[in-house]
Amino acid sequence: MVPDSTDGRSAAPVALHRDARWVREAYERFVGSGGRRAPEGIDPVVAESWRRSLRSGVDPDGPDGDGGLADADLEDHRSRHPLAVAMPLVRDLTGAATSEGLVVAVSDEGGRLLWVEGRGAGRRTADRVGFVEGAVWREELVGTNAPGTALATRRPVQVIGAEHFWRPVQGLSCTAAPVHDPVTGGVLGVLDVTGGRVAASPVALSLVRATVASVERELAARSATLPDAGRTPWVDGPDLSRGGVGRRTAGPELQVLGPPALRGRPLALRHAEILLLLAEHPRGLSAEELAVLLHPGDLSLVAIRAEVSRLRRAVGAVPGGPLLAGSRPYRLARPLATDAATVRDLLARGDVRGALAAYPEQVLRRSVAPGVERVRDELAAEVRAAVLAARDIRVVEAWAARDEGADDHAAWSLLARLAAPGTPRAARAKARLALLDRDLS
């Protein structure tokens, strides 16, 4: 995201903080200055959302909601909505979350909450702040929040505590991701998990992504059984499908989990970075946004244009026509499948062994581009969370044998618990834990 306070030509490296006290102080400085003080150290997605919220005139202490729909109107709207048929699947996949006090919500493409389900204190807290069926939680009405910001950015979003723009909800955390129409690729709505800090954990992100992927497959399967004339796409705009969520469209294969390559042909690191970022942002990126995502220091717009021009020449011979389309913004001419997206899909299907096998190393590990580092960290966190949750001794052992798992105390502790006492596996795990504990002391 490009801060309003800059000319978009360069971006300085920043250390990101999600510590509650740091975020709250940064938030109060930003709001108290009317946006004149930059939210330093804050996640760029959150910082940009704060700016949008401020520009929209959102009151930090009390948003102007629309009052919601009357019960009869709400029931009619959601009965006709395409996501209604997927709600049994959503409930099945998220039942454990609601039973543990989290709230699961599904909105339409306009941010109206169609289903809000949960129990106990979590549900009562959601009710108190107006996170209820029929209410609209778009950014321009209630400020930064996971479902609203996921709609605004068209990508999965996590918002932790004081990162919310509206003060009354800063005691909550949430994770949300858009759900896409299998016919048009447009956004049908958003799936959200809300609650305490655990609602914005890597496990919550994996749950949301996996549920969204399953819902999109369910919708695609239903669509495939209808004759073309009988399909009624829920149109919300151009194809907005994200390279890593759910749907997979045939196209050139971009390898980013190893030496960068496009359909098996070696690719320069910078070109792989650009293609990955465009695959992750299917709506496109301006030259200014691309500059911020590509370089932690100074990168001129002239340099960006030159890099993209070289990339066009390098991939111009890909079968199926040009891979890049337009320059305002820069975007892909068609969806681009990546091996990182393959890992996400395997995780979504619950195939942790397959995901680990398809994840030989981190995303473009030599890249220092901030946008790539974000993708790298997100995928690494999802894989690790799935490995630890699987409690499969072979999976945990395979993870611990990697560079990423070599110093993972939680993984080695789990391996020690899973291994049969007295076995070489148990002895190795205990020895590694002793070494890690010594290094920490």
For the chain, give the secondary structure using H, E and C: CCCCCCCCCECCCCCCCCCHHHHHHHHHHHHHCCCCCCCCCCCHHHHHHHHHHHHCCCCCCCCCCCCCCCHHHHHHHHHHCHHHHHHHHHHHHHHHHHHCCCEEEEEECCCEEEEEECCHHHHHHHHHCCCCCCCECCHHHHCCCHHHHHHHHCCCEEEEHHHCCCHHHCCCEEEEEEEECCCCCCEEEEEEEEECHHHHCHHHHHHHHHHHHHHHHHHHHHHHCCCHHHCCCCCCCCCCCCCCCCCCCCCCEEECCCCCEECCEECCHHHHHHHHHHHHCCCCECHHHHHHHHCCCECCHHHHHHHHHHHHHHHCCCCCCCCEEEECCEEECCCCEEHHHHHHHHHHCCCHHHHHHCCCCCCCCCCCCHHHHHHHHHHHHHHHHHHHHHCCHHHHHHHHCCCCCCCCHHHHHHHHHHCCCCCHHHHHHHHHHHHHHHHHC
pLDDT at 234: 38
The domains spanning 1-247 and 248-390 adopt the same CATH topology: no
- The whole-number pLDDT of residue 401 equals 86
* Residues of the chain where predicted confidence (pLDDT) is lower than 50: 1-17, 227-252
Q: State the pairing for strand pair 157-160/173-180.
A: antiparallel
With a CB cutoff of 8 Å and minimum separation 6, the contacts of 258 are 339, 360, 361
pLDDT for the residue numbered 70:
62
Query: What tokens were used for 321?
Result: 């026509």
Q: What angle do CA 258, 261, 264 make, to 5 degrees?
A: 110
The domain ranges of the chain are 1-247, 248-390, 391-441
**Residues 382, 151: Cα–Cα separation, whole Å:** 22
pLDDT at 347: 87
Q: Which CATH fold would you assign to the domain 1-247?
A: Beta-Lactamase (3.30.450)
Task: Report the pLDDT value the prediction gives residue 8, as an integer from 0 to 100.
Answer: 33
pTM of the model: 0.52
Helix axes of 370-390 and 202-224: crossing angle, nearest 10 degrees = 90
Q: What CATH architecture is 248-390?
A: Orthogonal Bundle (1.10)
Residue 4 is predicted with a pLDDT of 33
